[in-house]
């Protein structure tokens, strides 16, 4: 098999990319029918790829076998300010291929992705982008093998469940939906969540410079209790846990069925864990989601988060996306010259 790789030119290659992405989505949907049906059509995929190409600094490739397009992949620089509330969760100055920014012909994933990534890395590494992120379907074995062979490992997981009741034992706790006056309670619980992520084996740094942006974000959510909800559990008047719900802004449209809400933060204070509090909060959140007419809930967790990964998956969340990450040894910038 001879694969040729050339730079992605929107006017020339968008239609082929949209067709490849729609075909990939159809295969993904056969394995997970919860995924939205609309994107098995190339016309629906086209504007989403186009949107990626509006991001400054993007670079992409298209793969051909003979005259046939067999893959495309686009990466975009991720340049969160170090004060941004998401800065703790992403490596700074990274290059990412999001869920909708790549596809390979079915059965050719291993060879096509390896060739495409080699070309993309050759573009981004000389520009100083040593952290590379790729979002992948958890059930795409060919893609997983290709990126494992390219030194990528699992960094984050997005998962989804319906809004039905949880079946696990729950504690009897008082539950309130936070309003703007409860901002300090929400800040404190969000801080405990970020501190949890800074511990072993996750080790996502807690950048205190992000506090202001994080508070602004939480305050923004609190101003619209219809679209967003912070469910807070209390024991003897003390806040002991919280689930925050908001629209699914952090996920690819290909992963979001209609009527989906996003569970942004889930935390129980360390002294109150493993007694059914987390389940009680999730249960109240699911009830609220049903009342609002939602059918699905999505969330992210850090792949190395032992408690979070176990709890969400035992509560019915099933992975829909693996965020893969590779860090290139940055000594390559000066060695071998
Ligand atoms: C994840 C988290 C919110 C769960 O909250 P929690 O209050 O511990 O949740 P629960 O007590 O309802 O359930 C936790 C476990 O305790 C078990 N449990 C509940 N009541 C129990 C009891 N009375 N006796 C023994 N075990 C019990 C549950 O079965 C569950 O087991 P599982 O996770 O293996 O399914 C909490 O661990 C946490 O805040 N962790 C740190 C932050 C974090 O990781 N958040 C998620 C970020 S994505």
Give pLDDT, residue 337.
73
User: What's the average model confidence in pLDDT over 181-187?
Assistant: 96
Compute and round to an integer the Cα radius of gyration of the chain: 21
Tell me if 3-150 shares its fold with 161-318.
yes
What does DSSP say about strands 94-97 and 102-104: parallel, antiparallel, or unpaired?
unpaired
* Region 161-318: CATH code: 3.40.630.30
pTM as predicted: 0.96
Q: Beta partners for 56?
A: none
Distance CA 251, CA 275 (A): 31
User: How sure is the predictor about 1, in pLDDT bands with cuts at 50, 70 and 90?
Assistant: low
Query: What homologous superfamily does CATH list for 3-150?
Result: Gcn5-related N-acetyltransferase (GNAT) (3.40.630.30)
Q: Whose CA is nearest to atom 42 of ligand 1?
A: 267
Give the residue, out of 171, 204, 235, 276, with the most ligand 1 atoms within 8 A of its beta carbon, to mutate for a pocket test: 276
Report domain extents, the chain: 3-150, 161-318
54-92 per-position pLDDT tens digit: 999 999 999 999 999 999 999 999 998 999 998 988 898
User: How sure is the predictor about 226, in pLDDT bands with cuts at 50, 70 and 90?
Assistant: confident
Please, what is the average pLDDT of the chain? 96
13-45 per-position pLDDT tens digit: 999 999 999 999 999 999 999 999 999 999 999
User: What's the average model confidence in pLDDT over 190-209?
Assistant: 96
Q: How far is CA 236 from CA 172, 179, 239, in A?
A: 12, 19, 9
Q: Whose CA is nearest to atom 9 of ligand 1?
A: 278
Give pLDDT, residue 90.
87
User: How sure is the predictor about 225, in pLDDT bands with cuts at 50, 70 and 90?
Assistant: confident
């Amino acid at each position: 098999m001879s694969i040729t790789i050339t730079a992605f030119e929107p006017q020339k290659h968008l239609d082929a990319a949209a067709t490849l992405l729609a075909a990939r989505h159809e295969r993904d949907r056969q394995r997970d029918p919860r995924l939205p049906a609309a994107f098995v059509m190339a016309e629906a995929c086209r504007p989403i790829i186009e949107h990626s190409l509006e991001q400054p600094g993007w670079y992409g490739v298209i793969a051909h076998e003979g005259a046939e397009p067999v893959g495309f992949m686009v990466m975009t620089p991720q340049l969160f300010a170090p004060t941004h509330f998401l800065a703790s969760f992403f490596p700074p100055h990274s290059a990412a291929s999001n869920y909708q920014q790549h596809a390979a012909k079915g059965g050719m994933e291993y060879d096509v992705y390896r060739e495409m990534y080699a070309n993309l890395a050759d573009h981004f590494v000389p520009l100083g982008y040593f952290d590379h992120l790729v979002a992948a379907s958890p059930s795409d074995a060919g893609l997983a093998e290709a990126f494992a062979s390219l030194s990528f490992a699992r960094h984050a997981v997005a998962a989804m469940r319906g809004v039905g009741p949880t079946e696990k034992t729950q504690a009897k706790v008082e539950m309130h939906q936070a309003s703007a006056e409860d901002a300090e309670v929400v800040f404190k619980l969000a801080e405990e969540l970020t501190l949890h992520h800074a511990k072993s084996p996750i080790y996502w740094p807690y950048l205190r410079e992000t506090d202001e942006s994080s508070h602004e974000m939480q305050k923004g959510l609190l101003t619209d209790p219809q679209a967003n909800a912070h469910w807070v559990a209390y024991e003897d008047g003390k806040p002991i846990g919280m689930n925050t719900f908001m629209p699914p802004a952090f996920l690819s449209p290909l992963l979001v069925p209609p009527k989906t809400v996003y569970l942004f933060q889930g935390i129980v204070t360390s002294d109150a864990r493993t007694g059914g509090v987390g389940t009680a909060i999730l249960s109240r959140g699911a009830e609220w989601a049903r009342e609002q007419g939602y059918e699905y809930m999505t969330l992210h967790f850090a792949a190395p988060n032992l408690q979070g990964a176990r709890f969400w998956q035992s509560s019915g969340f099933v992975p829909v996306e693996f965020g893969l990450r590779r860090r290139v040894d940055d000594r390559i910038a000066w060695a071998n010259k």
